[in-house]
Amino acid sequence: MTDSFKVIKLRELSLGQLKKISRDLALGLSVQEMARIQSYFKNLGRDPTDVELQAIGQAWSEHCGYKSSKIYLKKYIFGLNSEKIYSQGDAGVVLLDDEYAVALKMESHNHPSAIEPYGGASTGVGGILRDILSMGAQPVAVTDVLYFGIRKYKNYPSPEFIKSGVISGIRDYGNRVGIPTVSGGIYYSDMFSPNVLVNVGCVGILKKDKIAKQSIDKKGIKLIIAGGKTGRDGIHGVNMASANLDSGSANLSTVQLGNPIIKEPLIHAVLEANESGLIYSLKDLGGGGLSSVVGEMLYAGGMGGVVYLDKVPLKENDMLPWEIWISESQERMLLGVEEKNVPQVLEIMNDWDVTSAVIGESVEGSKLTLYYKGEVVMDLDLDFVTSPPLYQRANRITYKEYKFDIPKERENYDGILLKMLSDPNIASKEYAVRQYDHTVRGNTVIPPFTGIIGKEGPSDASVIKINWENYTAISIAHGSNPFYSQIDPYMGARNAVDEAYRNLVSANSIPIAFSDCLNSGNPERPERMGEFISMIKGLSDEARELGVPFVSGNVSLYNETGLKSIPSIPTILAVGKLKDYRKAITPDFKGVGNPIYLIGKPEIEFGGSLYFRIQRKNGGRVPYSNPKVLYDRSERVLKAMDLGLVLSSHDVSEGGLALAIAEMTIGSDIGAEIDLTGLTFGRPDFFMFSESQSMFIVEIQKGKENEFEREMGGSSIKLGYTGGQILNIKLNGRTLINLYNDQIRSKWKEGYT
């Protein structure tokens, strides 16, 4: 026997020694879990190798095993509107039409980004691209929603360092790999010091009959590893992501290194092999590396397998078998290929200068056996490895008293609106987003900023055409509001879905799929777990009524440091469909003298609202979304758009209708005359700045008021007209807001020239 692997004398150990072994080998397993493994090997009548223990440590991590969340995801999310899902695997897939389908997924890269922001964020992009590729889909868009802290905490990197690292990481990876970064969001709050959240999404297009499967259900299928070589980077990444963040500088070796210039040809090569029908099954190597992907691919098809670890192309030749097996080195894909197709697949890889090697094959049974230089280093039943214990952890749902401090009424709200425009959560994100290539691939119909060149304002959704033959396109948007979630995780989640949905509708697209990235704290704390469950219930209750499935998602727990935890925050990636992208609608006003309508009704519900936040006041309960109302209004708005009545549209979110209208002036340089007389009998500021859900502002064709109002069935309120160089809002002859378009734009773009 060589010294490349060790047998661990597990059977004779006490509980205390088991705990020590878990710590010494960085397995991240609890004493109870170690005891379960011990009794398994007692039954087998032998002791495990280090390779075996490491493999179990990977599969049983929270990150891979969803130990704390799976029971709740099954209860509330899985199966929801599932008749509309075409396929689920590393990403979820829904059909667009008879020929095409769309794959989407959003996922967190929070823990690595908190330690090494550049590497963490860039490999986040790399990982999500591979998830889409695994479905046999061409990635067409990358998205990212980022949550940065403000205050620096001792022993942790400064928020400024984190922010610039994350943005550069996304830029350098996305731009180099040639997939446009088209949508996202950036939030700033002390909730995210020092626990930064980096949620990255990807959307891909595939022909539905070319979808790749991710399981192997017959013997003799060869396993090919393709792409980057395997190195010591990213070892124990999943275990690190399944624990609280103890300090900012720890565990640098757990963060992988990305290389987009290996990824770019890998995408071409894999898609070419898939298009030629040469791939039997396909999966990406992410968290847990080979140990996760080989096990999952075989187990899903009821097969066992053999793998020769010495056949894996390595960066460093002295790597030990257990390191090869669990390394999370980037840019790698696992291909299951029928023996007769192996030479052709290897040739395609070679044509693209992509490293590839046959490393094993599927066999009958449920055992996975690993060899290293002729010796068996692991021989385990996949039933055992891939079945971590699932926990229904103690949870406590707390009901808070909401405080409501009434701000004073003002004569004039110019100052308030300008303050809102320059709030870092609202102000233009061009300083980041203009560093991301959003037109590469030549399919971007609506980019993240739209309007007159040099004066562009924000878009609600980005629109990407799917080919060069017809007018079909997809729309992409997000929903998330950490300020609501902090106060009320249940309603925060519902409102996130509402926001994502209305963003898509505002661009004249029909929402067809969601992906949910769920961020939370330590699930071993009952109140955290309670919040987490509330969030999942909120997503479920909202999406069920809207008839849209969650096709994919990810859970990131332990976003916690000492006593400080993030709230339970979902980021929703939403995809919609446009039959004719020439009918896409943007928020910038299009003409002068056109009627402006509000769809919806502002209520006094200001918890987490921008209006109260900038005045440092408590706003009571958060807005309540009603999905039936949202669905009804959306159907009416889409019908009016289809009839050609609507010229521009913007969803009402933070800052209420006043800020929404201000944003519509930015890209158009067209002002608005708004008269609230007769519309509000309470305080006009509550009317202007309410963030009640499911609301839209639309500009419609002149002279079409009657037709439009009929279509809206009573849910529209006429506010005024477009035109001029000024946004003017008045009530009973009194001016509430009077600002030049240029003032609004320059405040919003402050800090970006």
Partner 1 sequence: MEGGVYLNLPKVAVLTMEGTNNEEEAFQSWRGAGANAEIIHIKKLENKIRKLEEFDAIFFPGGFSAGDYVRAGAIMASRLRATVMRDIENFVDAGKLIMGSCNGFQVLIELGLIPNIGGDYEREAALATNLSNRFEARTVYLKITNNTCPFLRKFRINQIIRLPIAHFEGRFIPANEDLLEEISNNNMIGLKYVDPYGKEVGYPWNPNGSVLNIAGVCSKSGNVLGLMPHPERVFNKYTQSDWPRGNEEDYGQLFFKGAVDYLNEKF
Binding mask 459-488 for partner 1 (x = CB under 8 A): ------x--x--------------------
Stretch that binds partner 1, among 13-21, 186-194, 451-459, 649-657 (CB under 8 A): 451-459
Kindly tell me which residue out of 447, 479, 521, 523 binds partner 1, with binding defined by CB under 8 A. Answer: 447
User: Which residue's CB is nearer to partner 1, number 182 or number 293?
Assistant: 182
Quick one: which of 397, 396, 423 has its CA closest to 483?
423
Query: Does 434 contact partner 1 by CB under 8 A?
Result: yes
Beta carbon of residue 696, minimum distance to partner 1 (angstroms, whole number): 17
Options 109, 111, 478, 650, the catalytic residue: 109
Cβ neighbors of 67 (< 8 A, separation 6 or more) are 60, 388, 389, 390, 391
Is the C-alpha dihedral spanning 112, 118, 119, 123 positive or negative? positive
Residues 638 to 677: which contact partner 1 by CB under 8 A?
A: 668
Stretch that binds partner 1, among 105-113, 123-131, 320-328, 450-458 (CB under 8 A): 450-458
Give the containing element (helix H, strand E) for 422. helix 414-422
Distance CA 529, CA 521 (A): 8
Which stretch in 119-127, 513-521, 577-585, 733-741 sits in contact with partner 1 by CB under 8 A?
577-585
Tell me whether residue 63 is one of the annotated catalytic residues: yes
Residues 132-191 that bind partner 1 (CB under 8 A): 171, 175-178
Which residue blocks in 116-206 are alpha helix, DSSP H? 117-133, 159-177
Give the three-class secondary structure for 391: coil
Torsion of CA 715, 720, 722, 723, to 10 degrees: 180
Closest CA to 460 of 654, 689, 169, 751: 654
Q: Least separation, in Å, of the C-beta of 661 and partner 1?
A: 18
Active-site residue, from 63, 111, 236, 650: 63
User: Residues 17, 30, 435, 470: which binds partner 1 (CB under 8 A)?
Assistant: 435
Among 154, 340, 400, 582, binds partner 1 (CB under 8 A): 582
Q: Which stretch binds partner 1 (CB under 8 A): 222-230, 259-267, 303-311, 604-612?
A: 259-267
Write out the binding residues for partner 1, residues 695-724 only, by CB under 8 A: none
CB 501 within 8 A of CB 574: yes
Q: x/- string (CB under 8 A) for partner 1, residues 589-618?
A: -x----------------------------
CA atoms within 13 A on the CB side of 631: 11
Stretch that binds partner 1, among 325-333, 347-355, 599-607, 727-735 (CB under 8 A): 347-355
Q: Count of residues binding partner 1 (CB under 8 A)?
A: 47
Which of 55, 4, 8 has its CA nearest to residue 27? 55
Question: Are the C-beta atoms of residues 178 and 130 closer than 8 Å to each other?
Answer: no
Report how far residue 203's alpha carbon sits from residue 553's, in angstroms, rounded to the nearest whole number. 13
Give 16's contacts (C-beta < 8 A, 6+ positions apart): none
Is 268 among the residues known to form the active site? no
3-state DSSP assignment of residue 669: coil
Exactly one of 363, 440, 679, 731 binds partner 1 (CB under 8 A); that residue is: 440
Region binding partner 1 by CB under 8 A among candidate stretches 94-102, 255-263, 368-376, 613-621: 255-263
What stretches of 45-108 show up as alpha helix (H) in DSSP? 50-59, 62-65, 70-76
Q: CB of 439: closest distance to partner 1 in angstroms?
A: 4
Angle (deg, nearest 10), helices 627-642 and 705-712: 150
Residue from 84, 257, 265, 547 in contact with partner 1 (CB under 8 A): 265
**Strand 510-519 versus strand 473-479 pairing type:** unpaired
Give the footprint of partner 1 on this chain (CB under 8 A). Answer: 171, 175-178, 259-262, 264-265, 351-353, 433-447, 449-454, 456, 465, 468, 581-582, 584-586, 588, 590, 668, 753
Active-site residues, by number, are 63, 109
